[in-house]
């Protein structure tokens, strides 16, 4: 199986380079890079040949991927004739060729019993990080044709790609052991291409562009190609170490980028116990067993799933995933709050949901293996249970109890969205705020008179479909009913203060519902 992973890894790397070469060729209107492009076509075709000989039953996604890859010849004719725009070409390579190849690589690695799950998880995040570097290479050759000062969307577009890189790099570094982290840090400090790319990122972040304006498209391409070549060698070393528990430190071979020799050790997050479950996951077993998704699962089935799981830590404000990414991981919140939102280039956000402990993040996406429709960001410090999406899909096919639990959670999420839509369209701002506070009160155990807002008022306002100043004014209005507000602390005059805002969805959560204590028995109507 290792040889197949090498073949896919090599193909992905060369396809990424072809995508960048195509972008550079189209950018010059066919005046430059034509010979290099033809040469790259031949390299990719060579890397594709071993994949054509693989048994189709080895992976369900293999045949659709090879079918798409066979369109490369036709697509190249349009590219050479410049009958296709660069954005369309880049999108074709990214979505139809590279993303499926990365997905197949993950599944092959996950379902190989000889591989260590921690190392597989590290490899997958590494490949996603490398893919974002490749996207920056391809898009940068196009964006350099614009006037930096007169293109305000330019920096935002590049910064979006950079933020994706940082998110995947952060996840990779969390899964790596200390030696693995040290190896990457050494590359970042000593490799010329890594350092120059970091300078570009800093210039974009600080709003300065002299360094960027001084680069031409070919120099940009060569700079990012040097970085990609080093990353490719790292990925090959990681594949070599997938099935080895105590692989001695290795050395990177020299590349065209003249990078220094750098050690690439085995990667893991923690020590697994006899059941194969990593120690970080084992520490949360009581919480995990109580999750609705795993209710009623026998210990053997649960252990079989969790041996592929990892604990992912995200600091406040960190992006967990982004709209348009392939759903390679399935997440369940163990601690903290996560917001799901859509955004535009002007920085405006539409907050769709705010989720907390026990909630799944976009479980429906993994059913049909579609790109993620929204962004996810940590509202505060968050701990997630992270499991390969391919593993969850496989287990859902064969485990009736897990499938029923998943349907139940999807049903509950659907009901919650309907309730949220009702709040936004049928209720006044005061009713929405009162409803939110009552929901918070019930989640606190419906016996305390002191509440604390779980996250920033601006986020609550966005979730409730109003401006922050409207939310603040509404809180002041509630003071007339004796509800005291002091920053994030809410004090109720009594435990019945919010009952007028009750509805059928909240009533079922109340311990006083259908009892003589309930002061608002008509709330179900």
302 and 160 within one domain: no
331 and 195 within one domain: no
Task: Return the percentage of the chain with pLDDT > 90, whole number.
Answer: 28
CB 24 within 8 A of CB 33: yes
Question: Domain for residue 61, yes or no?
Answer: yes
384 and 508 within one domain: no
Residue that wins the pLDDT comparison between 173 and 367: 173
Tokens coding 430: 């005061």
Measured from the Cβ of residue 319, the count of other Cβ atoms closer than 10 Å reads: 17
| pLDDT over 80 at 147, yes or no | no
**pLDDT, mean of residues 340-356:** 77
Q: How far apart are CA 498 and CA 435, in angstroms?
A: 8
| Positive or negative torsion for Cα 27, 28, 33, 39 | positive
Tokens coding 464: 């409730």
Least confident of 104-108, 474-478, 519-523: 519-523
| pLDDT over 60 at 256, yes or no | no
- With vertex at residue 359, the alpha carbon angle to CA 354 and CA 360, rounded to the nearest 5 degrees, is 105
Question: Domain for residue 385, yes or no?
Answer: yes
pLDDT tens figures, 206-222: 765 566 667 788 899 99
478 and 345 within one domain: no
pTM beyond 0.95, yes or no:
no
pLDDT tens figures, 435-453: 899 988 888 877 778 888 8
Structure confidence at residue 322 as a pLDDT band (50, 70, 90): confident
| pLDDT over 50 at 252, yes or no | no
Given 192, 215, 240, which residue is the final one in a domain? 240
Given 193, 221, 240, which residue is the final one in a domain? 240
Helix H or strand E encompassing 358:
none
Given 185, 211, 240, which residue is the final one in a domain? 240
Question: Domain for residue 308, yes or no?
Answer: yes
What's the total number of domains in the chain?
3
| pLDDT over 70 at 369, yes or no | no
93 and 165 within one domain: yes
Question: Domain for residue 417, yes or no?
Answer: no
Question: Domain for residue 269, yes or no?
Answer: no
What per-residue confidence (pLDDT) applies to 221?
92
Question: Domain for residue 381, yes or no?
Answer: yes
303 and 448 within one domain: no
pLDDT tens figures, 268-309: 345 555 567 888 899 999 999 999 999 889 999 999 889 888
455 and 395 within one domain: no
pLDDT tens figures, 71-86: 899 999 999 999 998 8
485 and 344 within one domain: no
- With vertex at residue 93, the alpha carbon angle to CA 88 and CA 98, rounded to the nearest 5 degrees, is 150
The label of the residue with tokens 């506070």 reads: 437
390 and 444 within one domain: no
Question: Domain for residue 265, yes or no?
Answer: no
| pLDDT over 80 at 525, yes or no | no
Bridge-based pairing state of the strands 375-378 and 319-321:
antiparallel
What per-residue confidence (pLDDT) applies to 309?
87
297 and 156 within one domain: no
Nearest to 331 by CA among 316, 302, 311, 351: 311
| pLDDT over 50 at 92, yes or no | yes
Residue that wins the pLDDT comparison between 111 and 253: 111
Question: Domain for residue 160, yes or no?
Answer: yes
pLDDT tens figures, 14-41: 999 999 999 999 988 888 788 999 999 9
227 and 119 within one domain: yes
Q: How far apart are CA 418 and CA 441, in angstroms?
A: 21
CATH number at residue 333: 2.60.120.10
Structure confidence at residue 169 as a pLDDT band (50, 70, 90): confident
What range does the domain containing 465 cover?
427-524
pLDDT tens figures, 175-231: 776 777 788 888 989 999 999 998 888 877 776 556 666 778 889 999 999 999 999
What per-residue confidence (pLDDT) applies to 51?
94
What per-residue confidence (pLDDT) applies to 253?
40
291 and 234 within one domain: no
> Taking the CA atoms of the chain, what radius of gyration do you get in angstroms?
26
Least confident of 39-53, 420-434, 457-471: 420-434
Q: How far apart are CA 213 and CA 148, in angstroms?
A: 7
CATH number at residue 448: 1.10.10.10
């Amino acid at each position: 199986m290792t040889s197949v992973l090498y073949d896919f890894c090599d193909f992905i790397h060369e396809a990424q380079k072809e995508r960048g070469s195509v972008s550079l060729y189209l950018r010059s209107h066919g005046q430059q890079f034509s010979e290099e492009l033809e040469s790259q076509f031949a390299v990719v075709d060579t890397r594709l040949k071993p994949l054509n000989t693989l048994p189709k039953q080895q992976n369900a996604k293999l045949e659709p991927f090879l079918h798409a890859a066979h369109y490369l010849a036709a697509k190249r004719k349009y590219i050479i004739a410049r009958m296709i725009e660069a954005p369309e070409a880049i999108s074709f390579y990214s979505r139809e060729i590279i993303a499926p190849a990365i997905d197949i690589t993950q599944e092959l690695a996950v379902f190989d019993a000889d591989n260590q799950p921690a190392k597989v998880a590290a490899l997958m995040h590494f490949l996603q990080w490398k893919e974002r570097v490749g996207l920056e290479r391809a898009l940068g050759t196009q964006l350099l044709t614009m006037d930096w000062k007169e293109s305000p969307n330019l920096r935002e577009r590049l910064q979006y790609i950079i933020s994706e890189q940082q998110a995947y790099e952060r996840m990779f570094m969390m899964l790596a052991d200390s030696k693995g982290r040290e190896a990457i840090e050494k590359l970042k400090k000593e490799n010329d291409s890594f350092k120059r790319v970091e300078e570009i990122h800093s210039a974009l972040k600080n709003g300065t562009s002299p360094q960027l304006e001084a680069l031409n498209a070919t120099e940009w391409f060569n700079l990012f190609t040097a970085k990609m070549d080093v990353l490719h060698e790292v990925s090959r070393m990681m594949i070599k170490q997938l099935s080895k528990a105590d692989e001695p430190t290795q050395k990177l071979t020299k590349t065209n980028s003249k990078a220094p020799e750098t050690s690439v050790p085995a990667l893991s997050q923690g020590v697994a116990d006899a059941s194969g479950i990593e120690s970080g996951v084992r520490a949360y077993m009581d919480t995990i067993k109580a999750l609705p998704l795993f209710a009623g699962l026998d210990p053997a089935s649960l252990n079989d799933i969790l041996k592929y799981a990892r604990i992912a830590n995200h600091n406040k404000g960190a992006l967990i995933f982004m709209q348009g990414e392939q759903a390679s991981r399935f997440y369940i919140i163990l601690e903290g709050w996560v917001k799901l939102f859509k955004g535009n280039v002007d920085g405006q956000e539409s907050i769709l949901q705010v989720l907390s402990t026990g909630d799944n993040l976009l479980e429906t996406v993994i059913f049909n293996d579609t790109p993620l429709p929204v962004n996810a960001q940590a509202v505060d410090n968050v701990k997630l249970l992270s499991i390969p999406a391919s593993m969850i899909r496989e287990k859902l096919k064969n485990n009736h109890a897990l499938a029923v639990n998943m349907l139940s959670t999807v049903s509950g999420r659907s009901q919650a969205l309907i309730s949220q839509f009702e709040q936004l369209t049928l209720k006044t701002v005061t009713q929405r705020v009162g409803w939110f506070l009552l929901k918070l009160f019930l989640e606190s155990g419906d016996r305390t008179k002191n509440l604390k807002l779980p996250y920033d008022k601006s986020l609550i306002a966005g979730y409730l479909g109003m401006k922050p100043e409207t939310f603040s004014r509404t809180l002041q209005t509630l003071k007339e009913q004796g509800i005291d507000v002091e920053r994030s602390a809410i004090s109720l005059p009594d435990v019945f203060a919010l009952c007028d805002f009750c509805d059928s969805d909240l009533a079922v959560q109340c311990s006083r519902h259908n009892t003589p204590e309930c002061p608002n028995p008509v709330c179900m109507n």
